[in-house]
Structure 1
């Protein structure tokens, strides 16, 4: 095209008005040009470029009607500058599509997300010892991939983002997807969803770097970055009614023991709540504890690290506990091997041909939802209807802060980060520092009657 294309004066409306009917070109680069076709009722713009995948053939695409009156932007009519800009975008996208197709099946957001969901589902299934659907998979299917009708749940169409090729992904595509998310979606759920999508896209880039633009990671980063929160709107993670005193924790444990006895839990429910209260750990952590993690001689529990983050953590966190906690766990450790799961519960099955249930063996706690029904009984019996199980974790963290433990130690004991502690528990940190500062206050003014010698002005 570079040697044979004959360019024409089409850059201004005045120049185009002098041309007879026909087609005229202006080069964009060596293999592409913007064309102007003049007819009886006006002119139109289109782009044409060489199709390298098919020899010397050319491809073309319409751009829009030309503004042949003047060179000012007008609704619906394009000046040469506008047509040139759109023509370059069309050619660039077409070349990206052709390059992506030549390298194999086009990598789309859908393909990246489906690969990620399959990996997460497989990982969670390995951990639980049975086939499960991961939380990440459920979120991404609902808000990106789409899903069919399930029971009372209506079918959900796929987001437009799902069909966008990774080679053509723009920051605006990600921002439009975020804007379309339901307003009633909780902030924490939305952030988990965004993190899942970010992980899926970054994973696809890592696996196919040679096929994708080097700028893709930056597009993902900026399109899915966390939104800044106004300091006036920022709220602590832990509300006041979730910070429990030692007396309130004791009431919950007393209620847990009573509910355990009345519900024939055989101590399983009570021991679970005791460990939650004593360690401040997450449900998913303590349910992975082994019998050997109870180290009575050292007066501590070894709590497995959470599976959050990218790894590089120590396997377990040592958490000091009192003799009362160790005594409560004795029935779960006596006569059992160190590699057995510490906290178990009875499993039941329905008696064939009956509405009755019978015990069908013991196994580990699996889901936090298993605690939901007995917890309602516990908190109602304790007279604290608003408290949630996670309140035991909040309380443990604040208890460490109020004891003036170093923030780094509080974070380490609870398997979290110092920035997270400072962000969500800053109020209680400030209270603790205020107490320390108050202890450093000394009297400055002399008492009445003390011998105070006034200094002359010249001696000041």
Structure 2
């Protein structure tokens, strides 16, 4: 937004002169002082027109531009003074090292502001908000019915199962847990800019985004160590290193696939996980067996090379790892429905049963202690009961 085309400099202080200006997309600019300009764009529909400020940012070597609005509540002869004051204030902010932030007026604006440093939120908003009529609703006009209508469209939208560009796309009904995750990120974005509305009223926008209860069913499919060994024996040679790592470390498959050779320090047995669902990089200490596997996979590779590589040199993804895992599940006679995430669940289950603190497990696996407690807390209680039983005479 910093690039501004040159335009004829005019005097915007007089109402009559502004009314005579040509109606065009590029604002008519008036120089207030060095590096500070005030612009005006006449309305093509007979409205009061829009005022714009631009200030030169020396650090970035370009102008920062921001719309100031129309000052329609003021008399015509008072608008210039108000716009001039705001433009000068913005210039002072930029000169002091600050950044002019875009005006947040609509739901779409709120989502963009919230997701500036949140890639996952950006992706969800791109799929479900920015192309939806909800994005254009003004925040001061937002009502519960707008969000209820959006929620209905979201729940009716099929979830894409196969993203193979060449084959036929496969879809399924959107799961309640997926709906909850999409609503949660929108709820967080709106909560940054809107106060909660009065309960049971149209202003209670938050009520339309309540989570579906009991949507996150507990993952109950568990493969014990013997079953995991059988799975590894049946799996293809190409996929065995990657799946072995999933059996040894409680990482998400996507985070495992994103690892590079430089992420593992064999001197300290520390692994850096930079790309994961929670978006926060972390370092974990890994056991000797897993360390040996990573050493073998990183041998003779550049630091930026994938740690786990397919036969064609490409990284694994959910469309490629699921094929060999599904084949091995069938060949080894494993329970139907076992997936890469089953291995993560099984590894976390073993850690909980071994008595490792839930907070430590949460840090290693890249999730919250609350989620570990919710899904695995009953296993921690079982471990405690077992420990007490061993104290009996």
Band the TM-score falls in, shorter-chain normalisation: 0.5 to 0.7
Do the aligned partners of residues 250 and 226 (structure 1) sit closer, same or farther apart at CA in structure 2, a change above 3 Å counting? farther
Partner of 1:319: 286
Partner of 1:94: none
Structure with bigger gyration radius: 1
Deviations 1:287-339 (A, max 9, x none): 232324444455x451405544474x6x32222241xx444445422223444
Partner of 1:288: 258
Q: What is the root-mean-square deviation of aligned Cα atoms in Å?
A: 3.7
Do the aligned partners of residues 165 and 221 (structure 1) sit closer, same or farther apart at CA in structure 2, a change above 3 Å counting? closer
Partner of 2:271: 302
Deviation of 1:273 after TM superposition, in Å, equals 0.8
Match of 2:372 among 415, 421, 430: 421
* Structure 2: gaps spanning 5 or more residues: 1-71, 77-101, 157-172
Cα separation, 2, equivalents of 1:145 and 1:234? 25
Cα separation, 1, equivalents of 2:196 and 2:370? 28
Partner of 2:233: 254
Contact 1:305–1:415 under 8 Å retained in 2: no
TM-score calculated relative to the size of structure 1 = 0.51
Deviation of 1:275 after TM superposition, in Å, equals 1.2
Contact 2:105–2:139 under 8 Å retained in 1: yes
1:61-460 equivalences in 2 (<5 Å): 107-113=105-111, 135-137=123-125, 139-140=127-128, 144-146=129-131, 158-159=132-133, 161-171=134-144, 173-178=146-151, 181-182=154-155, 184-201=173-190, 205=193, 215=195, 222-223=206-207, 226-227=210-211, 229=213, 236-239=217-220, 242-256=221-235, 259-260=236-237, 265=238, 269-296=239-266, 298=268, 300=269, 302-305=271-274, 307-309=276-278, 311=280, 315-322=282-289, 325-347=290-312, 362-365=313-316, 367-384=317-334, 385-441=336-392
Deviation of 1:403 after TM superposition, in Å, equals 0.9
Query: In structure 2, the residue corresponding to 1:317 is in which secondary structure?
Result: strand
Contact 2:258–2:275 under 8 Å retained in 1: no
Contact 2:183–2:211 under 8 Å retained in 1: no
Deviation of 1:217 after TM superposition, in Å, equals 9.6
Contact 1:198–1:220 under 8 Å retained in 2: no
Query: In structure 1, the residue corresponding to 2:155 is in which secondary structure?
Result: coil
Partner of 2:159: none
Deviations 1:59-91 (A, max 9, x none): xxxxxxxxxxxxxxxxxxxxxxxxxxxxxxxxx
Deviation of 1:284 after TM superposition, in Å, equals 2.4
Contact 2:196–2:204 under 8 Å retained in 1: yes
Query: In structure 1, the residue corresponding to 2:285 is in which secondary structure?
Result: strand
Cα separation, 1, equivalents of 2:288 and 2:195? 50
Partner of 1:449: none
Contact 1:107–1:166 under 8 Å retained in 2: yes
Do the aligned partners of residues 224 and 304 (structure 1) sit closer, same or farther apart at CA in structure 2, a change above 3 Å counting? farther
* Structure 1: gaps spanning 5 or more residues: 1-50, 56-103, 125-132, 147-157, 206-213, 348-361, 443-460
Query: In structure 2, the residue corresponding to 1:316 is in which secondary structure?
Result: strand
Cα separation, 2, equivalents of 1:421 and 1:273? 23
Query: In structure 2, the residue corresponding to 1:185 is in which secondary structure?
Result: coil
TM-score calculated relative to the size of structure 2 = 0.59
Cα separation, 1, equivalents of 2:175 and 2:366? 24
